[in-house]
Structure 1
Amino acid sequence: MVPAPLAYRPTRTRRGAQGSTAMSDAHLYVYGVTHETDLERSVEGVDGGERLYTVDYGPLSAVVTDVDDLEPEETDENTRAHDDVIRDVITGEDPLTLVPMRFGMVFKNGRTLKSVLREARPAFTRALRDLDGTVELGVKCIVPEDSTVDREALAEDASERLSAVSEGEVDNGLFSDRLAFNRSYLVERADREAFDIAVEELEADYDEEVTVQYTGPYAPYNFVDIEIGAQR
C-alpha cells in the first residue's frame, strides 16, 4: 500500500558559490537543517522563492530560499510550498536527512542564521545522527460508528505489526469517535518496503471492518524536539 502524500518554524541567510555565504538584502526562509551539503536547485518556494540553496556553519547546512518579508503570510499557497520543498528535499533525487522547520522561520540575514546554527549545533548534530536515513510515515485506523471491532485490540495489533518494522512511534491521539489508531512512525528508508507490506497486511486482515489511512513520507517532525529563537 502506497501512502497518500505534514511541518516546525525558523529564520535565514544567503549562500553563494562553493558553499560560501554572500550578504544580501533578502531575508532567509529556512525549511530545515541537514548535514553539510552543496545543494542548489530551482523550486517554487514560500513567497515565490525560486532558488533553494544552503547556508553552512561547520558540519551543518540550513536549507533556504530568499524572501522579502520577515513574517510571510501563512496562506494555503505558502504552506503548500513549504511542505512541497521539504518533501522534495527528503524524497527527490539524492534524498537528504532533514531536521524540518515548521512554517514561518525567517532570519534577517546570514549572520543571524549562522549564530543560531552555532548555538544549536550540538542539538542539530544529535538529531541528524538519530534521524539519519529515515522518514516519517503516518497510519490511522478508522472504524464505522456501529462497528463491533475491539478498538483496543485493533490498536495493540497495529502497533505490534508496525513497530516491528520501524525505529520509533508517536501516538498522535484520538480526536474522533471513529478513530481507533493514529500514530506516526520513524522508518528507515531501507525498511520502507517492509513497512508498506505491514500496512497492506493490516488493511487486508481487517478488510471492510476498518479503513486504514496511510500517509507520508514526511520529514520527521514528530521525532525532533529542537526549539530555536528567531533572531531578527
Structure 2
Amino acid sequence: MKTVLITGCSSGFGLETAAYFLAQGWRVVATMRDPQPGLLPASDHLVLLPLDVTDAASIASVIAAAGPIDVLVNNAGIGLLSIVEDTEIATMREIFDTNTIGLMAMVKAVVPQMRARKAGVIINVTSTVTVKPLPMLAVYTASKAAVEAFSTSLALELAPFDVAVRIVLPGQGKTKLGENARARMKMDFPPAYQAFAQEVFARTMAGSGGTLLEDVAQGVWRAATDPDCPMFLPAGSDAVAHFAEAGR
C-alpha cells in the first residue's frame, strides 16, 4: 500500500485531496495545525498528525511518525490580499515562511528517503495567478512563483534518483484561503486605492472562478500516479483557460 503525506488538510483542496486518496485505497497521512478527526472518513488507512511547516521540530516529528512516504503533497498555504505599499514587511515574511520556505523545508525532510529508495513524487500546489496575474495578490503570487522556480530546478536535481517533481496549479475556487487572506488584510485601504481595492476584494472573496475542489484532488492524483503527467498541471476549467491564453 502506498503512502501519501498531504499538508494543509483542514479544509479546501487539502481536505478534498486527502479524502480522494483514501477512496483510492492509499494510506493517507493528513496533516494540519490542529487535527480534527471528524473532517475525514474513519479509516485504518488514515493517519492524522499536527504539523506547522514553519517549525523544524514539528516537521521532523511528522516525518518520523509517517514512515516511508511515496508521495509528498505540499498544499499548505496562506493567502494575502493587500496593497503592496500598505503591507507590513512582517506580513510579507509570514506569507513566504509558510508558502515558500515551509514547503522547501518539507521537501528537504522527505528527499533523503526518496533518494535512497530511488522512487517518489513531490507535488507542489501553487496557483494560476503565476500565469494570469491579479491585483492585490503581488506578495502571494511572488511566494507561489518562487515555489515554481524552486520546483523546476529541484526536478533536475532529483531526476538522477528517479524522484519526480510536479506542480499542480488550481484556478480560483471557493476555499478558506480567501478567508485567511481577509484575516491578514487591512480593510482601511489607502485613500488612493479605496474604490479599486473594494472592488477587487468583493470579486476575489466571491470565488468566481471555475475550479472545484474535486478538480484539484483529481489533478494531484494524476500527478502522483501518471508517469506521463506534465510537470505543470492546471486544475480547474479557469486554470486550463489561463494556461491556454498564456500559451503554456
Task: Please tell me the TM-score bracket, short chain as reference.
Answer: under 0.3
TM-score by length of 1: 0.27
- The answer to which structure has the higher strand fraction is 1
Q: Which has the higher helix share?
A: 2
Structure of higher RCO (CA pairs closer than 8 Å, 6+ residues apart): 1
Q: TM-score, normalised by structure 2?
A: 0.26
Greater C-alpha radius of gyration: 1
